């Protein structure tokens, strides 16, 4: 009996020691920065073992600048990101330098769930799995963490229900972080295609680090019929005041492009020189042709699915390139200018009646292209038509 009591006591003590010395998982959330790549914030996973003193940060947001043909692979959507495992001191050194706040929240996991998570992390670290094809909406540093937790916890994890009518689109989700940077927002709105108009569920919105933190903070786990929060309250690792960015209106795309539109109308109303018209149109159609090439590339020659089916190709169509060829060769190919004019008119009406998904700064640019293509289309009703010069 004494031996049995000893065995039971030893077994209980050993089990108690295992539970208390088990690894602990934390969601690490980093505040947005001011650089283009950092405005959405960042997410990582921290694993601590109190018994061994082990402390590692798992970061899926790393890429190698020395990758051959880096820029081309990035543009094509074929740049691989990778998992990096580092110490908290090394990880947070960058955020201390950039003065970005960092928070962590302990993840409420049972020992068996923690074991599954560790096994998944070990699998992720294998050379054949450490690299992955980055997808901003569906496979990034945040969604990787969400997916691992879902696999580790399984059907016991629950997200709160939500109203479908209140669901924002992917474009709106990214737009709230781009708002302080109007030129960046203009560029992304220009190249983001129709997939950006898809409505997002709470789970979808976790592709953004701050929204991952918010979404998982609302998640519940079933523990024997009792629902408990997945995450505990956040603890501060680094804290700084958020960056204050106040763009001046007179430097925004909508103001400058509107100014360009007004200047072109005034200039060409007062000056009827054919040479001036040709030089101006060469400059304008060269710029619009560059944007047209961008539209062609991102619609048909990139693996970035977020940029496919871009309706901006209506006004930045391949016909703009034919118009530029007409100007360079000094030919009167009025047909192509008429096609561009009517396509611009269609794009203008779409943006006028269905403004969602469009950037206001597109309107003056569409009007500039409409006016100059109409001027070379031979329309008798156009007061700025070159036929009237």
Of the CA atoms within 13 Å of residue 349, those in its CB half-sphere come to: 6
Give the pair of three-digit tokens for residue 44. Answer: 């990582």
Co-location of 225 and 356 in the same domain: no
| pLDDT of 7 higher than 60 | no
- Burial status of residue 351 (CB atoms within 10 A of its CB: 0-12, 13-18, 19 or more): buried
Which of 291, 182, 297 shows the shortest CA–CA distance to 247? Answer: 182
Residue 382 domain-assigned (yes or no): yes
Residue 278 domain-assigned (yes or no): yes
How large is the average pLDDT for residues 197-205?
95
Of the CA atoms within 13 Å of residue 167, those in its CB half-sphere come to: 17
| pLDDT of 292 higher than 80 | yes
Residue 191 domain-assigned (yes or no): no
| pLDDT of 84 higher than 50 | yes
Co-location of 285 and 381 in the same domain: yes
Co-location of 267 and 211 in the same domain: no
Residue-wise pLDDT tens digits, 300-310: 988 888 888 99
How large is the average pLDDT for residues 310-338?
95
Residue-wise pLDDT tens digits, 23-42: 999 999 999 998 888 999 99
How large is the average pLDDT for residues 104-129?
95
Q: Please report, for the domain that includes residue 91, its CATH number.
A: 3.90.1720
Co-location of 80 and 208 in the same domain: yes
| pLDDT of 8 higher than 70 | no
Co-location of 34 and 109 in the same domain: yes
- Burial status of residue 2 (CB atoms within 10 A of its CB: 0-12, 13-18, 19 or more): exposed
Residue 74 domain-assigned (yes or no): yes
| Final residue before a domain boundary, out of 214, 238, 262 | 238
Co-location of 152 and 51 in the same domain: yes
Structural domain count, the chain: 2
Alpha-carbon gap, residue 214 to 236, rounded angstroms: 16
Co-location of 207 and 334 in the same domain: no
Residue 19 domain-assigned (yes or no): no
Residue 18 domain-assigned (yes or no): no
Helix (H, G, I), strand (E, B) or coil at 15: helix
Residue 10 domain-assigned (yes or no): no
Taking the model in full, what pTM does it have? Answer: 0.85
Co-location of 233 and 254 in the same domain: no
Residue 374's domain comprises 249-388
Alpha-carbon gap, residue 277 to 6, rounded angstroms: 99
Alpha-carbon gap, residue 174 to 187, rounded angstroms: 12
Give the pair of three-digit tokens for residue 388. Answer: 């009237």
Co-location of 209 and 275 in the same domain: no
| pLDDT of 384 higher than 90 | no
Residue-wise pLDDT tens digits, 215-273: 999 999 999 999 999 999 999 999 999 888 887 899 999 999 999 999 998 887 787 77
Residue 264 domain-assigned (yes or no): yes
Q: How many CB atoms lie within 10 A of CB 65?
A: 6
How large is the average pLDDT for residues 148-171?
93
State the pLDDT at residue 208. 97
Alpha-carbon gap, residue 174 to 183, rounded angstroms: 14
Co-location of 211 and 340 in the same domain: no
Co-location of 254 and 374 in the same domain: yes
State the pLDDT at residue 241. 93
| pLDDT of 2 higher than 80 | no
Alpha-carbon gap, residue 117 to 343, rounded angstroms: 53
Alpha-carbon gap, residue 85 to 124, rounded angstroms: 11
Alpha-carbon gap, residue 143 to 212, rounded angstroms: 8
Co-location of 152 and 264 in the same domain: no
| Final residue before a domain boundary, out of 238, 265, 300 | 238
- Is the torsion defined by CA of 309, 311, 312, 314 positive or negative? positive
| Final residue before a domain boundary, out of 212, 238, 264 | 238
- CA 65 from chain center: how many Å? 19
């Amino acid at each position: 009996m004494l031996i049995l009591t000893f065995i039971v006591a030893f077994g209980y003590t050993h089990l108690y020691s295992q539970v208390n010395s088990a690894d602990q998982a934390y969601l690490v959330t980093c505040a947005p920065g001011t650089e283009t790549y950092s405005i959405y914030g960042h997410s990582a996973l921290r694993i601590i073992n109190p018994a061994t003193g082990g402390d590692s940060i798992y970061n899926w947001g790393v890429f190698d600048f020395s990758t051959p043909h880096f820029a081309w692979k990035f543009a094509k959507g074929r740049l691989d990101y990778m998992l990096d495992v580092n110490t908290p001191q090394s990880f947070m050194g960058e955020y201390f330098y950039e003065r970005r706040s960092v928070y962590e929240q302990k993840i409420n996991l049972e020992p068996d769930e923690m074991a599954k998570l560790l096994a998944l992390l070990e699998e992720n670290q294998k050379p054949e799995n450490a690299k992955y094809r980055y997808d901003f909406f569906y496979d990034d540093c945040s969604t990787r963490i969400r997916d691992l937790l879902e696999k580790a916890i399984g059907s016991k994890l629950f997200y709160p229900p939500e109203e479908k009518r209140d669901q924002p689109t992917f474009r709106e989700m990214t737009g709230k972080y781009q708002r302080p940077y109007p030129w960046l927002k203009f560029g992304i709105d220009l190249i983001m295609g129709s997939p950006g108009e898809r409505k997002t569920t709470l789970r979808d919105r976790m592709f953004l680090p701050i929204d991952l933190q918010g979404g998982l903070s609302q998640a519940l786990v079933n523990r024997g019929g009792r629902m408990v929060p997945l995450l505990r309250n956040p603890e501060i690792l680094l804290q700084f005041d958020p960056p204050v960015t106040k763009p001046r209106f007179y430097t925004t795309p909508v103001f400058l492009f509107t100014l360009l539109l007004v200047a072109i109308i005034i200039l060409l109303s007062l000056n009827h020189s054919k040479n001036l018209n040709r030089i101006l149109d060469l400059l304008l159609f060269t710029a619009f042709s560059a944007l047209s090439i961008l539209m062609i590339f991102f619609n048909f020659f990139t693996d970035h699915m977020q940029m496919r089916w871009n309706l901006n190709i209506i006004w930045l169509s391949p016909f703009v390139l034919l118009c530029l060829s007409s100007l360079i060769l000094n030919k009167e190919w009025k047909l192509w200018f008429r096609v561009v004019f009517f396509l611009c008119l269609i794009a203008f009406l779409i943006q006028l009646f269905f403004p969602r998904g469009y950037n206001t700064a597109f309107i003056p640019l569409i009007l500039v292209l409409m006016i100059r293509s109409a001027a070379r289309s031979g329309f008798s009703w156009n007061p700025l038509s070159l036929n009237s010069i």
